[in-house]
Amino acid sequence: VGDAPRSARSDRVKAVRRLSGRSVRLREGRFVAEGPQAVREAIGTGLVEAAYATPEALDRHQDIAAALVAAGLPAHPVTADVLAAMSDTVTPQGMVAVCRLVDVPLEQVLRARPRLIAVLAQVRDPGNAGTVIRAADAAGADAVILTEGSVDVHNPKCVRATAGSLFHLPIVVGLSLTRVIDALRAERMTVLAADGAGPADLDDLQDGDRLAGPVAWVFGNEAWGLPQADRDLADDVVRVPVHGRAESLNLATAAALCLYATARVQRRQVRSIQ
Amino acid sequence: VGDAPRSARSDRVKAVRRLSGRSVRLREGRFVAEGPQAVREAIGTGLVEAAYATPEALDRHQDIAAALVAAGLPAHPVTADVLAAMSDTVTPQGMVAVCRLVDVPLEQVLRARPRLIAVLAQVRDPGNAGTVIRAADAAGADAVILTEGSVDVHNPKCVRATAGSLFHLPIVVGLSLTRVIDALRAERMTVLAADGAGPADLDDLQDGDRLAGPVAWVFGNEAWGLPQADRDLADDVVRVPVHGRAESLNLATAAALCLYATARVQRRQVRSIQ
């Protein structure tokens, strides 16, 4: 408690606030997880370096206070003003944690013999990326890969959209799509690109056995999708059927449908073998 | 062209701008559709009263200019400054249309013998509501109903999130959930409430024939879900299975999965009858 920052203008508060910038995060190797849900999930990962919370938030979330103490992590009581000065959000819900970056090497993911992976190719919107990470977690995916040129997963808006899932499954960043697909294919994963104009239909795929083996889905940029050169890298290009008059689905919706369809086929497969 | 507003401070520009407020929209019975995609879709509905566009946008979207002229609708060339002053967005993409409100009476929806309906109960976030409307359109739903206490579908952020789908399927607003469910059940629709703690599993439902008949899905508020009293109104409460460690799915993701699962079963049914 003695070294908790007391002023919103203290150097430590400013240093935390600067982590809302991508280049600072990369240089320092740290980012800020905001809100009780994110802090709670972060503690279990061993990535937390320090937590800052208002007395009110600590009282409301005593389980988090206990977990911080049990993990031997420095937890600093601060005023709401100090916390607001640290945070990108207007309302960080009384609590933030400074964490080391979450990303892991692709090799580590592949060693675990993944069966379902989501690849985001040049996805730029932090809310979209975060929502896909949350859906991938829910669908039981083994990892999410963001290619170089994608949004930083440690962006505060992305962290928020993951609703804690950022800390639940391995995240790989910074590689080219070519390199990612080469590595996935070397592990005998089927690589499927999602595209509204794809010749294969997700509904038909669910009736076959193509989704039963290890599958990696590639999702493109929210505005321009996947360029032809990128689609050519995949084993097949798959569309989510549009039954109504919508021109397309948004990125996160399409990704959730593809990932859940695959999880359903893979799990049916497992049930029928047992 | 003669009566196009030339100044961002003109009364007409201010009158359009005021439509970004909910109470003004309701009183005037008008809202603003922003951007070429929304304007294009709106023209076909007969709801457009007037369009305003920069010369650049008209040149880039000549199909929209032609459709406006063909429909006998007043189209006014304006400067980018005038357009920005009319719009809620920083970048209205060069074009807006003032439209009459889209909502229709529930009776009109029911007369068409709907087979798939999405009900949003007290959903407050315009982006979520718009994304569900877009997904419902894509899944081939026959209507979307927003209960009283929900966000106004004519909210600019909601209109934007629908990506044109607001003009594709009937939207009903302003009724209590009780009244909506009574009416749906009188039409012999199965009413399913989506809830993470539901006893029924969406995966299991897809293997049965429960989804094959007319189905209405009820989705609750993004923060507090569906209160017990609302869940009690439904025939069953259904969870989207969470295979990983995510606490839950976001509203729009869960809705898309429920609606698409139903569309798939209903269409399989149709195929097997033919």
pLDDT digits (tens, 9 = 90+) for A162-215: 999 999 999 999 999 999 999 999 999 999 999 999 999 999 999 988 999 999
Nearest to A244 among B139, B240, B245 (CB): B139
Q: At A18, list the tokens.
A: 């600067």
Q: At A100, list the tokens.
A: 């080391």
Mean pLDDT of chain A: 94
pLDDT of residue A74: 93
Q: What is the ipTM, given to two decimal places?
A: 0.92
pLDDT of residue A274: 59
How many other CB atoms are found less than 10 A from the CB of residue B166?
29
Which residues from chain B sit within 8 angstroms of residue A164, using beta carbons? 246-247
Report the residue of chain B nearest A141, measured CA to CA.
B244
Amino acid at A235: D
Indicate yes or no: CB of B248 within 8 angstroms of CB of A131.
no
Indicate yes or no: CB of A165 within 8 angstroms of CB of B134.
no
Provide the whole-model pTM. Answer: 0.93
Provide the shortest C-alpha distance from residue A236 to chain B (in Å): 21
Chain-centroid distance, C-alpha B120:
10
pLDDT of residue B15: 94
- CA angle B115-B121-B127, nearest 5°? 95
In this structure, the strands spanning A116-120 and A143-147 are parallel
Indicate yes or no: CB of A244 within 8 angstroms of CB of B163.
no
Closest CA to A219 of A104, A122, A106: A122
Strand partners, A16: none
Question: Could you give the CA distance from residue B222 to residue B225 in angstroms, rounded to a whole number?
Answer: 6
Is B271 an interface residue toward A (CB < 8 Å)? no
- For chains A and B, count residue pairs whose Cβ atoms are closer than 8 Å: 111
Question: Could you give the CA distance from residue B86 to residue B97 in angstroms, rounded to a whole number?
Answer: 10
Is B24 an interface residue toward A (CB < 8 Å)? no
- Confidence band for A1, pLDDT divided at 50, 70 and 90: very low
Question: Could you give the CA distance from residue B271 to residue A120 in angstroms, rounded to a whole number?
Answer: 34
Given a cut of 60, is residue B1 above it in pLDDT? no
Closest CA to A103 of A41, A24, A171: A171
- Confidence band for B92, pLDDT divided at 50, 70 and 90: confident
